[in-house]
Amino acid sequence: MEKRALFSNKLLPYMLLVPQLIITLVFFYWPASQALWQSFLLEDAFGLSSEFVGFENYRTLFQQPEYYRAMVTTAIFSSAVAVLALSCALLLATQADKKLKAAQAFKTFLIWPYAVAPAIAGVLWIFMFHPTLGTLARPIKATGVDWNPMLNANHAMLLLILSATWKQISYNFLFFLAGLQAIPKSVIEAAAIDGSGPIRRFWTIVFPLLSPTTFFLIVVNIVYVFFDTFGIIDAVTGGGPAGRTTTLVYKVYADGRLGGDLGGSAAQSVILMVIVIALTAVQFKFVERRVQY
């Protein structure tokens, strides 16, 4: 798609593009290519010299049990958050889609957690479930569970999943609500005349018609858990206890900063880039399908 009428200045378009191109080249392409290049280098312990080692960093990476553990952690974390955040949001959106008097007020009250920074969300949840002073930790302990997310990896993971879900519901809710409102009422009325009840109508008509939104949100949620939850993890667990809540992105940070293993960290970055590009490609396929719908 192109405009019929255009300006024909020779130099001006380049001048308009220069600011964005310079920033993109300096802060995007340059570091991305550095990451790629560094992933083939091995630095000595003092960072004074480095030599080209080919795929050595990748080979070392795939021999680390910690790397597989981070993969499993990321998989558990992202699928749990995606399932929870999507189903809660869908439930809320279907209810908010009904013609209620206070629908707009409910909408406002449900969307604002989007504005809370992930790290702050983590701090709120750790305050709520802190083993000694958390308001909600007391009732849990009263049931006899030795609740301690600082020491127990499962408790830590649970806390991460809950706080990440809490923050993501509002986003999913907005998109589900928009999707629901785009479904023509006549279709639903037709089904009602044919005698199908609300639950049957939801599963046979509304849910299938909503599937483009759902697929889009699944991808967005996975990307969210991969990258945006860094703040939550750093605030709630710091990757612990004993590295059991370290995700792939958190490991890039921890290995490069705390471990000083820049080559290994770069190799991990490259693998992550490949994953994101794959996810984005999947997303674009669905966006195209959504347009045809």
Query: Would you count residue 260 as binding other proteins (CB under 8 A)?
Result: no
Using rule CB under 8 A, residue 262 touches other proteins? yes
Q: How far is the CB of 95 from other proteins (least distance, A)?
A: 4
| Residue whose CB is less far from other proteins, 58 or 166 | 166
Q: What is the spatial distance between Cα 14 and Cα 197, in angstroms, rounded to a whole number? A: 60
Contact between 10 and other proteins by CB under 8 A: the answer reads yes
Q: Is the peptide bond before 65 cis (omega within 30 degrees of 0)?
A: no
Output 134 or 157, the one with its CB closest to other proteins. Answer: 134
Task: Say whether residue 293 binds other proteins (CB under 8 A).
Answer: no
Sign of CA dihedral 89, 92, 95, 101: negative
Whats the size of the chain, residue-wise?
293
Name the segment binding other proteins (CB under 8 A); options: 43-51, 65-73, 204-212, 264-272: 264-272
Dist CA 81 CA 162 (whole Å): 8
Secondary structure (3-state) at 5: coil
Residue number with CB closer to other proteins (16 or 242): 16
Under rule CB under 8 A, residue 256 binds other proteins: yes
- What's the closest the beta carbon of residue 75 comes to other proteins, in angstroms? 18
Among 102, 151, 182, 242, binds other proteins (CB under 8 A): 102
Q: Which of 53, 75, 128, 209 binds other proteins (CB under 8 A)?
A: 128
Among 64, 108, 154, 204, binds other proteins (CB under 8 A): 108
- Does position 75 interact with other proteins (CB under 8 A)? The reply is no
Position 68 contacts other proteins (CB under 8 A): no
Q: Please report, as residue ranges, which positions from 144 to 203 form the binding site for other proteins (by CB under 8 A).
A: 150, 166, 169-171, 174-175, 178, 185, 188-189, 192, 198
Residue 41 DSSP SS3: strand
Q: Which of 92, 161, 180, 210 binds other proteins (CB under 8 A)?
A: 92
Tokens representing 67 are 């790397």
DSSP symbol at 32: H
Secondary element (H or E) of residue 269: helix 262-292
CA atoms of 43 and 240, how far apart (whole Å): 27
- The DSSP element (H or E) to which 31 belongs, if any, is helix 30-38
Whether residue 252 contacts residue 265, with contact meaning beta carbons closer than 8 Å, is answered with: yes
